[in-house]
Amino acid sequence: MSQHQEKARIIRFEQLSEFNIRITLEAPLIAGSAEAGQFVMIRTGPGQDPLLRRPFSLHQTSSSGHIQIFFKNVGRGTNILAHAKVGEILDVFGPLGRGFSVADDRPACLIGGGLGIAPMLFLAKIVSSLSREHGQDLIILGGRTREDVEPLVEDFRQFGLALHCATDDGSYGLKGFVTDILRSEQLAANTRIYGCGPDNMLEVLHRFSTERKLDCQVSVESVMACGMGACLGCNLDASDGSYVHVCIDGPVFDTRELSWNS
Amino acid sequence: MEFVKDHDPYPDLRVNIGSLELQNPVMTASGTFGYAREFEDLINLHRLGGIIVKGISLEPRAGNPPQRIVETPCGMLNAIGLQNVGVERFIAEKMVYLKGIGVPVIVNILGDTIDEYRQITERLQGVDGIAALEVNISCPNVKKGGVAFGTVPSMAAAVTEAVKKAADVPVMVKLSPNVADIVEMAKAVEAGGADSISLVNTLIGMAIDLQRRKPVLANVIGGLSGPAIKPIALRMVYQAAGAVQIPVIGIGGIESAEDALEFIVAGAAAVQIGTANFINPRVSEEVVDGIGDYVKTNKLASIRDLIGALEV
C-alpha cells in the first residue's frame, strides 16, 4: 500500500452532459499503484472554504500516468471542479481504500447506477484483461435518463464484454432499473456481482445476491474528512453490530459485511 | 538549561514544556493523527516536535453512529464519540511503533469519572516510550462526565490532581473553550498541579439539514474545528498564557507556519496541529520548515525568543 500526494495537472475536461463531467489528470504515482475500486481525495482549491478534500472513485487509470474522475456537479466542491480548466493543477491524494477483489476464474457481473458507473470502467478494464473466456461476463449500466448513460457507453464497449443499459425514463436502453436487467439474466452459479450506485440499488443487489447465493461486492459512499483512517468520520453500521470505516475498510465491501436495516 | 547556539547551521527551534524537551514546537493534535503510523508514508515523523495520540480510555469505545462529521464554513464539525482501542490494546499494539519514531509521544487520556482517569494513569505508569500525558477534560461528545469536567473549575482541578498523583510523567491538561472564563479554568488546573495546559479543544456547534429538518450529525451536536475557530483560540491562548506560570500549548485552526507563529507570539510555548492534518497530511512538517525559515530570516537566536513576544 503506497499513498501519494501529487500536484496533478488537468489535461482533459469533458462535459459529458449538463451536469456530468469527466476530468483527466496527470498523476503518474497514483496511476501506477491504483486498483479498481480505490479512490482519491482532491482539494478543490488552495483556500479555506471549502475546507475539506472531496473523495472520488477512480474512473480510469492509464499506463501513461493519467487518472480520470467522473462526477456530477451537485455541491460546492464539485461545482468548483466543474469550472476547472485544462492546465490547472489540483492537489490529489491517493490511491486510497480497499478496491474490488476480482476473482480471476469467475464470471463477473458489473453493475453501475448513475454516478456509480464511475468505478466500473476501471473494473471492466481489469476484468476484460483476465486471460480467460469472457462469454459469461456482463456489464449493466443505468441512470435516470439517456444523458447519464449514453456518453459513457463507447468507453465500455471497447472491452468487448456484453453490455446492457437501462434508464428510469426509457430514453436509453430498457425502461427500468439495472436490477430489472439483472433479474432477467441467466447468471452462472459462481458469478460475482460488483456494484456501485445509489443506496437503494445496493440494497437490492444485496438481497438478490443473498437469495441466489452469489458473491456481491459493492462500493459505497460516505462523507469523509481525511480519507486515510485518521479522522474516523466515515463510519457505517456493520452486519456484526460494530462499525466499519469507508475509507480504510472500504469503499468496497462484500455486502454481507454491512448492515442493510436502514 | 543551556543550549549551544554558536555555529549551528540549523535554526534553534528547541522548546521546553516544563521538564519535557521538544526539538521544535510543532506537535500533532489528538484525534487528528491516528496512532501516527497512518502517516508514515506521507511525512517524516521523526521531524515532529511531538505526537499526541488519539484519546485513550480504560475500555475500548465504539464511538457514535454515523453521520459523524460535516463540513462547515472554513471548518468542520465532528462527533466521533471518542472511538478508541482502549488502554490495553493501545499498550500492546500501538506503543511499540510509537516509541520507535524517536520523538516525544504524549498519550491523551479520557474517562467518565475521576476514578477512571486515575486507573488509566496507573495503567500507563512505567510504560516505556511515553513522554507525557495529555488529559482530555473537554471533549464535548460524550454525554456523561466530559462536559462537566471541562467546564467546572473545581472538577477540572480534581481530575488534574488525581492524574498528577498517579502519573510518572509530566501532565498536560487540555482545556475546553466552551466556558465563560478561560482564565479561571487555566488557573484551576494549574492549582491542581498541571505541568502545562493545552488549548483549545473544539467549540460545540451544530448543523441542520433543512430539507429533512434533522440535525446533520447523529449526535445532534459536535465539535467545531479548523480555521474558523482560530481567532477564538488565539484569544484564549493569549489570556491563559498571561494568567498562569506553567507553559501553554496553542491549538485551534493552525494550518501554516504563520498561524503557529501567531500562537507562539501570543504566549504559546508550542502548538498542536489538528484538522489541517486531514487536508494536508504533510502540514506539520511544512510548519516546522516554515518556522525554521522565519527564525533564520528574522535572525532570531532561538524560537524561544518569540514566545509571548506580543507587543500590546
Q: Answer yes or no: are the C-beta atoms of A138 and A109 closer than 8 Å.
A: yes
User: Quick check: is A247 in a domain?
Assistant: no
DSSP per-residue codes, A100-115: ----TTS-EEEEEEGG
Sign for the CA dihedral angle at A214, A219, A221, A224 comes to positive
For chain A, the domain total comes to 2
Instruction: Say if CB B288 and CB B3 are below 8 A apart.
Output: no
Looking at the structure, tell me whether residues A19 and A73 fall in a common domain.
Answer: yes
Reported as a pLDDT band with limits 50, 70 and 90, residue A262 is low
Cβ-Cβ contacts under 8 Å, B75 against chain A: 51
Nearest residue to A152 (alpha-carbon basis) of A180, A110, A183: A110
Give the closest-approach CA distance of B30 to chain A in angstroms: 10
Q: What is the pLDDT of residue B9?
A: 64
pLDDT on residue B146? 45
Q: What is the mean pLDDT of chain B?
A: 93
Domain that holds residue A157: 108-219
Looking at residue A223, its amino acid is V
**Active-site residue (options: B53, B58, B135, B139):** B139
**pLDDT at residue B30 above 80?**
yes
What tens digit of pLDDT does each residue of B43-53 get? 999 999 999 99
A73 and A132 co-located in one domain: no
Is there a domain that residue A168 lies in?
yes
- pLDDT score of B179 more than 80: yes
Q: Determine the residue among B279, B282, B283 to mutate to test chain A binding: the one whose Cβ has the most chain A Cβ atoms within 10 Å.
A: B279
User: Residue B74 and residue A48: Cβ atoms within 8 Å?
Assistant: yes
The strand pair at A20-26 and A4-15 is best described as: antiparallel
pLDDT tier at A104, thresholds 50, 70, 90: confident
Q: What is the pTM of this model?
A: 0.94
pLDDT, tens digit (0-9, with 9 covering 90-100), for B278-289: 999 999 999 999
Asked whether the beta carbons of residue B282 and residue A5 sit closer than 8 angstroms, the reply is yes
Residue B143 has pLDDT above 60, yes or no: no
Q: Using CA atoms, how far apart are residues B192 and B62, in angstroms rounded to an integer?
A: 31
Mean pLDDT of A246-256: 97
pLDDT greater than 90 at residue B147 = no
Looking at the fold, whether A128 and A204 belong to one and the same domain comes out as yes
Domains and CATH numbers, chain B: 15-62+82-202+226-306 (3.20.20.70)
A76 part of a folded domain: yes
C-alpha cell at B19: 521538564
Helix (H, G, I), strand (E, B) or coil at A89: strand
Relative orientation angle of helices B257-265 and B230-241, to the nearest 10 degrees: 30
Interface of A with B (CB under 8 A): 1-3, 5, 43, 48-53, 91, 93, 222-226, 228-237, 242-243
Question: Do A79 and A143 belong together in one domain?
Answer: no
Evaluated on CA atoms B251, B254, B259, B260, the torsion sign reads positive
Whether residue B177 contacts residue B137, with contact meaning beta carbons closer than 8 Å, is answered with no
- pLDDT of B1 higher than 80: no
Does the beta-carbon distance from B278 to A237 stay under 8 Å?
A: no
Q: What is the pLDDT of residue B138?
A: 75
ipTM exceeding the 0.85 mark: yes
Of A96, A121, A145, which closes a domain?
A: A96
C-alpha cell at B30: 489528538
CATH code of A121's domain: 3.40.50.80
Alpha helices, H only, chain B: 86-89, 95-101, 114-124, 146-151, 153-166, 182-191, 230-241, 257-265, 276-279, 283-297
Mean pLDDT across chain A, nearest whole number?
A: 95
Mean pLDDT along residues A202-231: 96
- pLDDT at position B7: 47
pLDDT at A243: 97
